[in-house]
Amino acid sequence: MYQTHWNLSQRPFENRADATFYYPAETHQAALLKLHYAIENRRAAAILCGSGGIGKSLVIDLIRHQLADEFRPICHIVFPAMSGEQLIRYVVDQVDAAAPDCQRETSADLARFERFLRASIDADRHPVIFVDEAHLLEQHDLLEPLRLMLNIAAADSPGESAWTLVLAGQPSLLSHVERYHALDERLSVKCMLNRLLPDESSAYIQHRMRCAGVEADSIFESAALDRIHMLSQGIPRRINRLCDLALMVGYAEDRNSISVEMIDSVHSDLATPTIV
């Protein structure tokens, strides 16, 4: 709607996992490096933590597309509200294209998973399973089924696993897993995504605007960029919301730049529910 007014080729602050707009902040680059290490060295498990809106889903999407073909199949599961038995069955159904056994008991599902892993080893393939919103697993007793599946993950080479599990969730996931020693010991890396620093927030905005065909400095006043960082606390999703609405308001008011006052007004609108 506002793209023409600002000479943008597309909306630069959509809240979706789009690799085109990825800004390589230090914290995200470090997480990618660690996850690549865990998966490409065929370790059993890894963990990716960060507050809501920090960019976990984007990191997962990036690494899924960066992995070589030998790391297949890749399964991305968003927290499934189901029983432990159903979770095991769901995971096996997602990764194994073979027809399921008529006997749908947990033991049969685990046996099918073991056959699938053996076939993957023979084909020199390494399955990777991402579980998103994994901080919700503990309250549903779903960490144990995943540990059980890791128990049958032995590969032919010492120190390697036949598949890699990546748990992604909010910071509470770390304490959940640390209390669950049997699973914690399987983790080869623990990645924590941190909030963007002030200069990173400005660079993030500039990068996304540039991807949409315009230099941020021609639209966002320098003081406005500083205020966006302060109000968003360096969380990308909040930065996106503030910037997107500011561009919309600027278009509606026929402005030619985004000022501190506009950012404050937009932030106030986001914080205060509208009564109709």
CATH number of the domain at 43, please: 3.40.50.300
Is there a domain that residue 210 lies in? yes
Is there a domain that residue 96 lies in? yes
The predicted model scores a pTM of: 0.89
pLDDT higher than 90, residue 65:
yes
**252 and 176, same domain (yes or no):** no
Tell me what the mean pLDDT of segment 153-177 comes to. Answer: 85
Q: Which residue in 151, 178, 175, 153 sits closest to 164, CA to CA?
A: 153
Classified as helix, coil or strand, 150 is helix
Structure confidence by residue, pLDDT tens digits, 241-257: 999 999 999 999 999 99
Distance of alpha carbon 124 from alpha carbon 249, whole angstroms: 54
DSSP structural state of residue 71: S
**140 and 206, same domain (yes or no):** no
Distance of alpha carbon 52 from alpha carbon 238, whole angstroms: 10
Do 166 and 200 touch, CB atoms closer than 8 A? no
**179 and 221, same domain (yes or no):** no
**140 and 213, same domain (yes or no):** no
Is there a domain that residue 179 lies in? yes
Report CA-CA distances (Å) from 147 to 73, 92, 183, 256.
20, 14, 6, 56
Do 195 and 75 touch, CB atoms closer than 8 A? no
Structural domain boundaries, residue 76: 26-192
Place of tokens 């909010």: 170
**40 and 111, same domain (yes or no):** yes
Q: Residue 276 is which amino acid?
A: V
Is there a domain that residue 276 lies in? no
**48 and 153, same domain (yes or no):** yes
Structure confidence by residue, pLDDT tens digits, 207-263: 999 999 999 999 999 999 999 999 999 999 999 999 999 999 999 999 999 999 999
**51 and 143, same domain (yes or no):** yes
